[in-house]
A and B are shown apart, each in its own frame.
Chain A
Amino acid sequence: MTFNSTEFLFFFPVILTFYALAFHRGRWREGVLLVASYLFYMSWNWRYAGLLLLSTAVDYSVGRLIVQESRPIVRKTILIVSLCSNLGMLCIFKYYNFFVELVGGQTAALGLNISFLKHELLLPVGISFYTFQTMSYTIDLYRGEKVFEKDFLKFAVFVAFFPQLVAGPIVRAKQFLPQLHQVPDVTCQRVQDGLLLVFRGLFKKVVIADLLGLLAVDKAFANPGAFSSWDLLIALYAYTFQIYNDFSGYSDIAIGLARILGFDLPQNFNRPYLSQSVREFWTRWHISLSTWLRDYLYISLGGNRVPLWRVRVNLMITMLLGGLWHGAALHFIAWGAYHGFLLMMGKGKEGKSSKSEHVWGASVLGRQVVCFHLIVFGWLLFRVQDLPNFVHYTEGLIKNGLGTQFHELFYAVLGLAIALHVIPLTRWAAMEKRFLQLPVPAQAVAYALLLIMFCGFTLEAPSFIYFQF
C-alpha cells in the first residue's frame, strides 16, 4: 500500500475516524497510531513487521541502559552494541549480497575458487529510514541530549509513525517525541492545510514524476541505443525532475498526513535545483538525510575542526557512505564519490562567491545553471542500472544525433515541472491561500476531481523511487 494506491484512499479515512474517536484518550490515540502504522507497514510484507518491532525494542532497551549508566566506557559499549545491531540488520538485508558479489568477483579474478552463499531475502521497505531514525535516538542519548523516552508505546509510535515510516523525512527524537507528550494540534485549518499538502504531493508524484518516467525516462534508460542524443539529453533532464517530484511529492504527502493527525514533520526539500553551489544543494535536497549525515557522521569524523585536507577527506567519506545508503551498487557509490569530489572542490571557496551573489544577478543565474548541470550529470550516475549502462548512455549522448520520439504530452509535462520549480514561493503561497479561502464544499469538489484525474494518469500506481532505499 503506497500513498498513491487505491487501498490508501480507503485506509486513511478509516484510520482518521478511529483516531478522531480515540483522540481525547491519550493511550488509545497512541494505540490507534501504532496499529495503523504497523498495518500500513505489514501491507508491504507482514513478515518484516517483526524486524521493525525488534529494532524498536533493541533501541528502546539501549536507550534505557544508556540513561541509567554513568560510566563512559560502558555507555560507549552499549552504544556500539546498538550501532552494530542496527547497521548489522541493514548490512544483512541491503549490502550482504552486494559485497559477496564484489568479493566473489575479486577472488575469481585472482584465480581462487571460493563460493559465497547469497540470501534471497527481500529488502524490507524503509529499513534505511527507520534504522537511521533509531540510530539517531541512541546517539543523541549517548551525547547527553534530553530525548529519553521511557514510555515504550510512545517510542514505538516514534519509530513506526506511518506517514514517514518508509521514505522519511528522517525525524529526530527531539523533533517528534515532545509532540507525543502533548495533545496533537488538530484544527479545521490544519486539516485543510494538510490536505492541500497531500494533494500537492500527489500531483507531483502522479502527474509529473510518473508521467515523465512513463513517457520517456524509463525507455531511454532501458535502451539508450534506440534514442537520439537529443532525446537522451532531454530524458536526463526529465529524470532530474522526475526524482525530485517523486521524492519531494512523497515528503509533501507525509508532512501533510502528519499535519492532519496533528504532528509537524520537518521540511525535506527546498527547491534544490535553484542552488548556486553543490554545498547549497545539499542544504535543500533530502534535508533530513543530509543533516543526519552531517550531525552523526561528518561531525563525528571531525567536521570542520580539522585541517582543510582532513575536512575534504571527511566530506568524501560522508558522501561515499551517503551514496552507499541509497543502494548496494557501484553506481550509487560513484554518485556519492562524484558529489564528494564536487564538495571537496568547493570547500574553502564558499566565502568568495557570496559577495557577488547580491550584486550581480547574472552571476547568480550563471551559478545556478552551472550547479544545476553538475547535479544533472550526477543523476545520470544515479539512474543507470550499472556502470556499463552509464557508458552506453554517455556514448549515446554524444553520438546518436538529433530527432525526437517523445510525444508532445511529455514535453508539456517537463515544461510544467520546470515552471513549478521556478515559480516564486510567494506566488505559490498566495494561490494556496486563495484556495483555502474557498468554501469547504468547493475545495472538496476540486479534490474529488483531482483524485479522478490522478486515477486516470496512473492506473498502475508505480511505487515511489525512494522506497527501494
Chain B
Amino acid sequence: MKLAYLKIVIWISVSLVAVELALEVRAMSRGWDTLFFGSAIVGERVIQKAGGSSEFGPTPSFPFRSRIVPITKSSGDQRYWIASSSHAEDSYLQPTAIFPVVLDRTLNEEGLSAVVLNASRAGNDISANVEDLKRWGPQWNPDYVILYQMSLTVGSISKKLFSGNRGQKASLNAQAEKTAGPVSWVNKLVESTTIYANVKGQIAARVEASRVLANDLGIQGEQEYAELVHQFIRAARGIGAAPILTTFATSHTRQHLGKFPEEIALLLFRNGAFLSVEGWVRSIERFNEVTRQIAGQEGVMLIDVASEVSGQPEYFRDFVHFTPEGHKAVARTIKAALMRMEPREVSIVAQGQRPSL
C-alpha cells in the first residue's frame, strides 16, 4: 500500500478546505468571526471581543455584562438583577447598547442611585437563571430580580415533551447520553466552521421545518413553565430580593402568522424543531398569560414588555433578539414600570405583595 493510494482522501480534504475558505471570506465581509481568519475586521462584535471598554464586565471578579461596581453595596443603592439569556447578554452588540446597561444609565439619569447587574448568559434557561441566582445572588445582594426569559424555556419544554418517546432511537440515544463525556474537540471544531453554520441555517433548518410539528405545548407545557417561574420566585425571595416578572416580546405575533418571514422561521428551526411557527407564537402567548396569572397569585410585580415591544419587527434582528432600538424600547418599558413604583412599595414588593402599577 502506498500513501499515493489515498490521494482521493487528500483531494476530499482539499475540497472541503476550499469550500470553507470561500464561505469564510463571505462571512468575513459580513462581520462574522471565522475559524481560519479569527475575528472579523469589521462589525460590532469585534469591539466586544476585544474587551470593549474597561467600564463593563464580565471580568474574573465581576461576572456580569454590565457596569462594573464593587461587590459591597453603597448605602442608598438599589440593585436590579437581570436574569435572562442572550436577549440581554447580546454579545453581538457593544455593552452600551444592551437593555440592562441602557436601563442602568437612564435610571441614574433620573437621579436614582441604581445599579443594574446583568446576570444574563447566552444559553441560560430559567433553571440556569435560578442556579446563577443561588450562586452569586447572596454575594451581590440585589434588591430586585427581574426575569426576562422564555424562548429557551419553550425550546427545552417542547424537547422534553415531544422527544421523550422515540422508541428504539430514544433508548439508544439515552444510552449514548449516559456514556457520553463532554463534547469532543472534533465536534467543537466542526461547529466552528462556516460550512457548519451555513448548513445548519440553510439545510438543517429546512429539514427540521418539514417534521410533523406541534401547534402548542398544552396544559402540561404550561404547568412545567409555571413550576419554573415559581422556582425563580422562591430563589429570589430566598436571597431576600423582590422578584419581578416580565412578559416576553417577539418580533411577530398571532396577527403575522399568515405572512411570517421565512428567514425568521428558519432561525427558529435551526436548533431542532418540535413546534411549528404557530406553536411558537401560541406558546409564548400562553406562557405570557401564565406569567401574568402567577404575578397576580404571588403578589409579584409584573412588567408587560410584550405589550410595549411585541409585533414591531424593527425592534428585532430575529424572532427574539433585539436591535439597538429594541434594547432601548425594552429599557424604556422596564424603567417606566420601576419609576412608577412608590418608594414605600419597595418594601411591599420585598414582602411578597403586589404593588399597583
CB distance from A32 to the nearest CB of B (A): 12
CB distance from B207 to the nearest CB of A (A): 6
| Residues on A with beta carbons closer than 8 Å to the beta carbon of B72 | none
- Tell me which of A68-76, A83-91, A183-191, A302-310 binds B: A183-191
| Interface residue from B14, B173, B187, B200 paired with A462 (Cβ < 8 Å) | B173
Residues B1 and A20 in contact, CB atoms below 8 Å apart: yes
Residues A7 and B184 in contact, CB atoms below 8 Å apart: yes
Q: Give the docked Cα–Cα distance between A451 and B168 (Å).
A: 26
Q: Pick the most buried of B6, B171, B272: most chain A CB atoms within 10 A of its CB.
A: B6
Residues A213 and B169 in contact, CB atoms below 8 Å apart: yes
CB distance from B277 to the nearest CB of A (A): 14
| Residues on B with beta carbons closer than 8 Å to the beta carbon of A20 | 1-3, 5-6
Residues A187 and B5 in contact, CB atoms below 8 Å apart: yes
Determine whether A369 belongs to the interface, using a CB cutoff of 8 Å to chain B: no
Given A191-B5, A407-B210, A456-B199, does the pair A6, B12 have CB atoms closer than 8 Å? no
Residues A448 and B16 in contact, CB atoms below 8 Å apart: yes
Determine whether B53 belongs to the interface, using a CB cutoff of 8 Å to chain A: no
- B1-34 CB mask vs A (1 if < 8 Å, else 0) is 1111111110111111001000000000000000
Determine whether B340 belongs to the interface, using a CB cutoff of 8 Å to chain A: no
Determine whether A391 belongs to the interface, using a CB cutoff of 8 Å to chain B: no
Determine whether A313 belongs to the interface, using a CB cutoff of 8 Å to chain B: no
Given A6-B186, A13-B13, A213-B169, does the pair A262, B1 have CB atoms closer than 8 Å? yes
Determine whether B166 belongs to the interface, using a CB cutoff of 8 Å to chain A: yes
Residue of B nearest to A457 (CB): B207
Residues B11 and A444 in contact, CB atoms below 8 Å apart: yes
CB distance from A349 to the nearest CB of B (A): 34
| Interface hits, B165-218 → A, CB 8 Å | 165-169, 171-173, 175-176, 178-179, 184, 186-187, 190, 195-196, 199-200, 202-204, 207, 210-212
Residues A383 and B167 in contact, CB atoms below 8 Å apart: yes
Q: Give the docked Cα–Cα distance between A7 and B173 (Å).
A: 17
CB distance from A195 to the nearest CB of B (A): 6
Q: Give the docked Cα–Cα distance between A216 and B196 (Å).
A: 25
| Residues on A with beta carbons closer than 8 Å to the beta carbon of B2 | 20
Q: Classify the interface of chain B: helix, strand, loop or mixed.
A: helix
CB distance from A427 to the nearest CB of B (A): 24
Q: Give the docked Cα–Cα distance between A214 and B9 (Å).
A: 30
Residues A186 and B5 in contact, CB atoms below 8 Å apart: yes
- Tell me which of A219-227, A290-298, A335-343 binds B: A219-227
CB distance from B273 to the nearest CB of A (A): 10
By size class, the interface of chain A is: 35 or more
Determine whether A374 belongs to the interface, using a CB cutoff of 8 Å to chain B: no
| Interface hits, A261-292 → B, CB 8 Å | 262
CB distance from A455 to the nearest CB of B (A): 5
CB distance from B248 to the nearest CB of A (A): 27
Determine whether A368 belongs to the interface, using a CB cutoff of 8 Å to chain B: no
B: number of interface residues (CB 8 Å): 44
Given A6-B187, A441-B11, does the pair A456, B179 have CB atoms closer than 8 Å? no
Residues B179 and A45 in contact, CB atoms below 8 Å apart: yes
CB distance from B2 to the nearest CB of A (A): 7
| Residues on B with beta carbons closer than 8 Å to the beta carbon of A384 | 167
Determine whether A98 belongs to the interface, using a CB cutoff of 8 Å to chain B: no
| Residues on B with beta carbons closer than 8 Å to the beta carbon of A453 | 199, 203
Q: Pick the most buried of B1, B204, B207: most chain A CB atoms within 10 A of its CB.
A: B1
| Residues on B with beta carbons closer than 8 Å to the beta carbon of A17 | 3, 6
| Residues on A with beta carbons closer than 8 Å to the beta carbon of B167 | 218, 221-222, 383-385
Determine whether A44 belongs to the interface, using a CB cutoff of 8 Å to chain B: yes
| Interface residue from B13, B15, B175 paired with A123 (Cβ < 8 Å) | B175
Residues A463 and B19 in contact, CB atoms below 8 Å apart: no
| Residues on B with beta carbons closer than 8 Å to the beta carbon of A405 | 212
Q: Give the docked Cα–Cα distance between A184 and B9 (Å).
A: 19
| Residues on B with beta carbons closer than 8 Å to the beta carbon of A465 | 168-169, 172
Determine whether A39 belongs to the interface, using a CB cutoff of 8 Å to chain B: no
| Interface hits, A360-388 → B, CB 8 Å | 383-385
| Interface hits, A34-68 → B, CB 8 Å | 44-45
Determine whether A467 belongs to the interface, using a CB cutoff of 8 Å to chain B: yes
Q: Give the docked Cα–Cα distance between A7 and B187 (Å).
A: 7
| Residues on B with beta carbons closer than 8 Å to the beta carbon of A410 | 210
| Residues on A with beta carbons closer than 8 Å to the beta carbon of B7 | 188, 440
Determine whether A447 belongs to the interface, using a CB cutoff of 8 Å to chain B: yes
Q: Give the docked Cα–Cα distance between A10 and B16 (Å).
A: 13
Residue of B nearest to A456 (CB): B203
Residues A455 and B196 in contact, CB atoms below 8 Å apart: yes
Residues B12 and A451 in contact, CB atoms below 8 Å apart: yes
Residues A463 and B5 in contact, CB atoms below 8 Å apart: no
| Residues on A with beta carbons closer than 8 Å to the beta carbon of B16 | 448, 451-452
| Interface hits, A384-418 → B, CB 8 Å | 384-385, 405-410
Residues A444 and B210 in contact, CB atoms below 8 Å apart: no
Q: Give the docked Cα–Cα distance between A28 and B349 (Å).
A: 74
| Interface residue from B8, B12, B179, B186 paired with A7 (Cβ < 8 Å) | B186
| Residues on B with beta carbons closer than 8 Å to the beta carbon of A218 | 166-167, 169
Residues A407 and B211 in contact, CB atoms below 8 Å apart: yes
| Residues on B with beta carbons closer than 8 Å to the beta carbon of A383 | 167-168
| Residues on B with beta carbons closer than 8 Å to the beta carbon of A21 | 3
Residue of B nearest to A443 (CB): B8
Given A444-B8, A453-B203, does the pair A215, B210 have CB atoms closer than 8 Å? yes
CB distance from A388 to the nearest CB of B (A): 13
Determine whether A459 belongs to the interface, using a CB cutoff of 8 Å to chain B: yes
| Residues on A with beta carbons closer than 8 Å to the beta carbon of B199 | 452-453, 455-456, 459
Determine whether A202 belongs to the interface, using a CB cutoff of 8 Å to chain B: no
Residues A10 and B168 in contact, CB atoms below 8 Å apart: no
Residues A215 and B1 in contact, CB atoms below 8 Å apart: no
| Residues on B with beta carbons closer than 8 Å to the beta carbon of A7 | 184, 186-187
Residues A455 and B195 in contact, CB atoms below 8 Å apart: yes
Residue of A nearest to B7 (CB): A440
Given A215-B210, A405-B212, A444-B11, does the pair A463, B173 have CB atoms closer than 8 Å? yes
Q: Give the docked Cα–Cα distance between A213 and B169 (Å).
A: 9
Given A6-B186, A222-B166, A462-B173, does the pair A448, B12 have CB atoms closer than 8 Å? yes
A-B contact pairs, 15 of them (CB 8 A): A7-B184, A7-B187, A9-B186, A16-B9, A19-B1, A122-B175, A191-B6, A222-B167, A383-B167, A440-B11, A448-B12, A455-B196, A456-B204, A459-B204, A467-B172
Known: A23-B1, A445-B15. 7 other contacts (CB 8 A): A9-B190, A191-B8, A409-B210, A440-B11, A441-B15, A447-B12, A456-B204
